Amino acid sequence: MAKSFTRLFFSLSILAIAFLAVSTARYTPRPNSRFLSQAFDVPGNYTYVCDASRFAALGLDMKDFVYCDSSLPYDVRVKDLVDRITLEEKARNVIDVASGVPRIGLPPYKWWSEALHGVANVGSATFFDEVVPGATSFPNVILSAASFNQSLWKTLGQVVSTEARAMYNLGHAGLTFWSPNINVARDPRWGRILETPGEDPLTVGVYGVNYVRGLQDIEGTENTTDLNSRPLKIASSCKHFAAYDLDQWFNVDRRHFDAKVSEQDMTETFLRPFEMCVKEGDTSSVMCSFNNINGIPPCADPRFLKGVIREQWNLHGYIVSDCWAIDTIVQDQKFLDVTSEEGVALSMKAGLDLECGHYYNDSLATAVREGRVSEHDVDKSLSYLYVVLMRVGFFDGIPSLASLGKKDICNDEHIELAREAARQGIVLLKNDNATLPLKPVKKLALVGPHANATVAMIGNYAGIPCHYVSPLDAFSELGDVTYEVGCADVKCHNDTHVYKAAEAAKNADATIILVGTDLSIEAEERDREDLLLPGYQTEMVNQVTDLSTGPVILVVMCGGPIDISFAKNNPKIAAILWAGFPGEQGGNAIADIVFGKYNPGGRSPITWYENGYVGMLPMTSMALRPIESLGYPGRTYKFFNGSTVYPFGYGLSYTNFSYSLTAPTRSVHISLTRLQQCRSMAYSSDSFQPECSAVLVDDLSCDESFEFQVAVKNVGSMDGSEVVMVYSSPPSGIVGTHIKQVIGFERVFVKVGNTEKVKFSMNVCKSLGLVDSSGYILLPSGSHTIMAGDNSTSVSFPFQVNYHN
């Protein structure tokens, strides 16, 4: 979302709410009072609506309002609330800065808060001041994803939501947070890769499920029978639906881009994380994106909003637009040349419940009166919204969360988790001659534009951190450090500072060079044009390395991949670490790994392409599979078989592991009835084609699973963690399918000489299903290959799917 408008929009929204409150009732806004008192002159501090003393202070009797009767089901209470509101008032409450209805005791509510990797200061509801000066800033998502640690992802969500709820109790945040970003990183140039869990749809989905569960779940209520009444710690929103992965590439921008996506790619790649987020994560919301999909704006597409998200996936919550998406539909895209009233009618009828913007406020009531959309549709949207607010305690409070406060923000435990998350994600890309962990040295040179990084480490959608620990801070605590910037900033426009950096390396026992990008290079509304280090950074690295007299360690901070082949192939650069954007504790995490306090175990969640790759295809080509007629290569590890700097899933350790396989299930036999038909699949001419090539997954019970166990032994000399990645490859000869795909993963800690057994149980349909060119999900018969581990340490076995009548 466009942060450049946030302050202006926030200010105008406050003025609008103030005007509304004064014009409709006798209450005066108090912007500096507690959250629920912002629009009412009410003595005392209130953290939920249905407080009898609050109603009394408003001159109202709470007993007169059924919507505050907590003994009744949410749907009954919400109906009472919606029935009391006029059409004009309804229009003012389906936007992100909702005005409330003062005459019935309903206060304003600001829907927009962010919690991508900590509570952010983006949005209208969250702010920091002397009461809450900061919140814990964890690594950006791309680095946390590199840990491939599902329990860590959930724990991060739990801690972020604890701080968010504490800030709400202190009047500094809302209860609805529009996170996480679960768009798949299709193209390495995309500026928002840092916000995402990477390029693999399953990994992205698993991250989303765990983070959402961490944000939302209240212990003991996760399996509530009626999910529409399940209490929420805070409410999340999975975004941006869908096929959104281009912001500003040359003259193409997200507000005008029409993503031409096949049904195959949509089902297989772009929708899968969202389906998991709704079905398995039980997210409270989905946000639709700016870009068109095959000529239709997602925020006005009933097929996706009502048909898929609401009905097929059974969303328990609301659908919200990306900010100013209706403005984009009407003004930028000029979709169907609709007027404002026609635009809001299209979106509301399509299933867009909440607009981040102003069009619903300005034009929805008129659209209803003109017969373009029914008031019943507006009522349904309000019902979805108010049920979520009831579940999250806005109306009744949640007693178990009421004590959260300042002590629960930026405490030692949370700051240590930020350090641990960064350590778990950092990836060791190169380590010649076991240079790392580095032995203690007398003189250390620390050079490069990120050597003293602070703000750059927290990346995008960040708040104010508790406390920065830069690399310079961390290494200076451990010895004698000479610091030289090398480049004035990451754009490194000239070599002015290179000489001093090289001299520092010449006189040091070891040199650490910290390079990479920041939000001036890759960010929202800023895609890259190449995959090279910016400006003179490469020259700086080479010159510093040439003059160094001790080992050189290169640390790269970036979100998307960078072609660092020059460093990979330089024998004087002994080790390379990728640190993503490591959060407020990034300096400590890097130092912990360099000096061996922590053994790196991260794996790259993206493919590190060579720079020439981006010259082979435009960013606007959405196809994942190669397009041979145009000479376009495939995308992601699933469909690209060319050379890379580092492949997806790559990562080294200070120790070594060996794998062995125990008792795998090797086949499944599925009996078909006369109602289940075999489907044909395209095979290459020289391949064997089974009599029954495949069956539609929707026609199968999909109860079958296969199990196996991987024994991971630490055969090295240091305790460490290993990520066991499990892939499947389809039967040979099927045309147009993936090379391999991730079907599971588990991170396991193994002490030296010990063996840990990791058990996997895989659903046959989910793990081995393929999406055909029409978008159907099929389960092919034949011999599938299951592989655990990477190419250097792996075990594999065939798994046979057989159909018979």
**Token pair 């990306």: residue:** 322
In one letter, which amino acid is 570? N
Residues in CB range of 791: below 8 A, 6 or more apart: none
Q: Which of 461, 525, 425 minimizes the C-alpha distance to 190?
A: 525
- Both tokens of 36, joined, read 């629920």
How many other β-carbons are positioned within 10 Å of the β-carbon of residue 34? 16
Residue with tokens 């092919």: 780
Of 87, 21, 86, 17, which is closest to residue 363 (Cα–Cα)? 87
**Strand partners for 427:** 578
What gap in Å lies between CA 639 and CA 737, rounded to an integer? 8
Q: Using an 8 Å Cβ cutoff, are 711 and 755 in contact?
A: yes
- DSSP secondary structure letter of residue 223: T
Burial tier of 64 (Cβ tally within 10 Å: 0-12, 13-18, 19+)? exposed
What span, in angstroms and rounded, lies between the C-alpha atoms of 683 and 472?
57
Do 199 and 281 contact (CB within 8 A), yes or no? Answer: no
Contact in structure between 470 and 457 (CB atoms under 8 Å): yes
Cα distance between residue 518 and residue 649, in whole Å? 23
Active-site amino acid positions? 322
Burial class (CB in 10 A: 0-12, 13-18, 19+), 376: exposed
Q: What letters, b where the CB count within 10 A reaches 16 and e where it falls short, cover 639-668?
A: bbeeebbbbbbbbbbbbbbebebeebbeeb
Q: Residue 88: count other Cβ atoms within 10 Å of its Cβ.
A: 12
**Contact by Cβ (8 Å): 539, 499:** no
Query: Count of H helices and E strands in the chain?
Result: 23, 29
Gap between the Cα atoms of 216 and 592, Å rounded: 32
As a whole number of angstroms, the distance between CA 576 and CA 132 comes to 38
